[in-house]
Amino acid sequence: MLEKMLPFLSRPFRSAARRASEAPRGLQQAYPELGAKRHRFGSAGMSLIEIIIVIALMGTLMTIVITSLTGRQDEAMKDATRLAMAQLQTQLQLYRVHNYKYPTTEEGLDALITAPAGNTKWRGPYTEKNKLSDPWGNKFEFESNGSEFKIISVGKDATAGTEDDLYYPEQEKAEGGGSGQQ
């Protein structure tokens, strides 16, 4: 019975390499159910229609994932802008402690980088130049009378006075015409 299962072992005088090459064929002859399965039409693999369906499904899934991530990215950019504005507010507070007032609109946020003309109390720089822009790369707008200030980001569209503008402090946004969006 062992010889029937492993007929290649009954030939002791053949080389080991030849016996090894005959082993699978001998097993397939003895046990045809162990052999390679054949497809109904004789092809192994996927048909063109199956490949097209798989690609279409993958494309649909990618579209859904990218669409959902895009909305989240916009919200993340707005949150990063609010955070950058809050950090500027901290730097403006420090400027006020040293100079007894906020920079004026004419001096702008550049007063945090370089001393305004004639200012002898300035101890800056209070921030880095790259911190004066929002995450979209637009320079923050700054309005101040010396005692109060407002920081404005023109948002993704880089146009002032549109719905995507962000204001700091937040309560100024509602009083400023309601053009900002949370």
Strand partners, 149: 144
Q: Is residue 101 part of a domain?
A: yes
Q: Dig out the tokens for 160 from the structure.
A: 């002032």
Task: Kindly report, residue by residue over 144-155, the tens digit of the pLDDT.
Answer: 988 899 999 998
Angle at 129 between CA 92 and CA 119, to 5 degrees: 50
Q: Is residue 156 part of a domain?
A: yes
CA dihedral 68, 70, 71, 77 (to 10 degrees): 140
Q: Is residue 95 part of a domain?
A: yes
Q: Is residue 40 part of a domain?
A: no
Q: Give me the pLDDT at residue 174, please.
A: 43
Q: Give me the pLDDT at residue 120, please.
A: 83
Q: Is residue 107 part of a domain?
A: yes
For residues 78 and 166, is the Cβ–Cβ distance under 8 A? yes
Highest mean pLDDT among 8-22, 31-45, 112-126: 112-126
Tell me the whole-structure pTM to 2 decimals: 0.56
Task: Kindly report, residue by residue over 25-82, the tens digit of the pLDDT.
Answer: 555 566 665 555 555 555 567 788 888 888 989 988 888 888 777 767 788 888 889 9
Instruction: Please tell me the total count of domains within the chain.
Output: 1
Provide the domain limits for residue 164.
80-175
Q: Is residue 94 part of a domain?
A: yes
Q: Is residue 4 part of a domain?
A: no
Q: Is residue 165 part of a domain?
A: yes
Query: 165: domain CATH number?
Result: 3.30.700.10
Task: Kindly report, residue by residue over 39-49, the tens digit of the pLDDT.
Answer: 555 556 778 88
Positive/negative CA dihedral, 24, 29, 30, 33: positive
